[in-house]
Amino acid sequence: MSKLAYLGPEGTFSEEALRILAPEAERLSCPNVGAALEAVRRGVADAAVVPLENSLEGGIASTLDELVRGEPLLITAELLLPVRFSLLARPGTEIPHIKRLLTHPAAHTQCRGFIARELPDALVVASASTAAAAQEVALPGSPYDAAIGASIAGEHYGLLEIASNVGDRDDTVTRFVMVGRPAPLPAPTGADRTSTVAFLAEDHPGALLELLTEFSVRGVNLSRIESRPTGDGIGSYFFFFDFEGHVADARVGEAISGLHRVCADVRFLGSYPRADGIAPQIRRGTSDTEFAEAGEWLARVREGRL
């Protein structure tokens, strides 16, 4: 049985994601994303489940930074988890009783409508995570009456879900990824995503445009881009890219080879099935078949067989 690290404590959305991605796995709670990834690098865990995008728990920037530094790791799966907030309290608590509410600031932001409407007089106190809020509320003698967090946190700490779906929007999702040590890649499924990090060789107007041209000229569509300073001085950036397709695809392979040639460095983060199962539109001239045909044509031309 495999052991998987996650961003704890018990009851976070990360744990919820882990339980969906690997229901059978043994779980290892870690205090931050860096600790979860280090557990994988050191072999303490077989893989980690960490938030990559749009996370409530603020994990994005640190996930990226931790993936970029240290020993290479490999993303092998992703999950899009709808973010559903619940109002959690000790048995016997009713909404009118709630005077002191504990939650993570991002959850506070996303539940402002509910709080204004249903708990207009409650004092809202910030916690380190939604799970920590639930844990605190569950303590006997806690000064807090309720927490806002994942329903799973309620289960963990013995709280009741006295209201569900209390977020202002019902379309918020967090993207989680499973990250392991280098190993053979997941096989292409036809609806895959690839993640890489590229470090600019030099900064000048149009430098990013050159990188993106490596993708667009081979018909590879980006689904995410983010620049981040390297921390090695002003004007030095790296770019985090997610794009459609698997590195086994001819167009993706040629694109990231091109990136590798023109960048100071490229770190491959993984090719894995898209959680939404959407297959890419393959532009004319960029299918594997067309790459193979063009390769045969080139071989003939190089021999003068016109």
**Near a second copy in 146-205, by CB under 8 A:** 169, 171-172, 182-185, 201, 203-205
User: Token pair for residue 44?
Assistant: 């303490």
Q: Does 120 bind a second copy (CB under 8 A)?
A: no
Distances (CA, A) of 49 to 12, 46, 181: 11, 10, 13
Q: Cα(first)–Cα(last) distance of the chain, in Å? A: 58
Q: Does 140 bind a second copy (CB under 8 A)?
A: no
Binding residues among 81-110 for a second copy as defined by CB under 8 A: 104-106, 108-109
Whether the CA torsion 42, 14, 102, 156 is positive or negative: it is: negative
Interface residue with a second copy, options 219, 238, 272, 273 (CB under 8 A): 219
Q: Does 118 bind a second copy (CB under 8 A)?
A: no
**Per-residue string for binding with a second copy, 220-259, x by CB under 8 A?**
xxxxxxxxxx-xxxxx-x-x-------xx----xx-xxx-
Length of the chain: 306
Interface residue with a second copy, options 96, 120, 121, 306 (CB under 8 A): 306
Amino acid in the structure at residue 34: G
Whether the CA torsion 208, 214, 218, 220 is positive or negative: it is: negative
Amino acid in the structure at residue 46: D
Distances (CA, A) of 265 to 201, 258, 276: 8, 11, 30
Measured distance CA(54)–CA(37) in Å, rounded: 19
Q: Closer CB to a second copy, residue 27 or residue 267?
A: 267
3-class state of residue 43 by DSSP: coil
Residue of 178, 137, 166, 153 lying closest to 18 (CA atoms): 178
Q: Does 142 bind a second copy (CB under 8 A)?
A: no
Q: Closer CB to a second copy, residue 124 or residue 160?
A: 124
Q: Closer CB to a second copy, residue 160 or residue 228?
A: 228
Q: Does 42 bind a second copy (CB under 8 A)?
A: no
Interface residue with a second copy, options 20, 33, 43, 50 (CB under 8 A): 33
Q: Closer CB to a second copy, residue 128 or residue 160?
A: 128
Binding residues among 262-281 for a second copy as defined by CB under 8 A: 262-263, 267-268, 276, 278, 281
Q: Binding segment for a second copy among 16-24, 41-49, 128-136, 138-146 (CB under 8 A)?
A: 128-136
Q: Does 139 bind a second copy (CB under 8 A)?
A: no
Q: Is 227 left (phi over 0), alpha (psi -120 to 50) or beta?
A: beta
The distance of closest approach from Cβ of residue 265 to a second copy in the complex, given in angstroms and rounded to an integer, is 11
Q: Does 116 bind a second copy (CB under 8 A)?
A: no
Q: Bridge partners of 238?
A: 199, 228
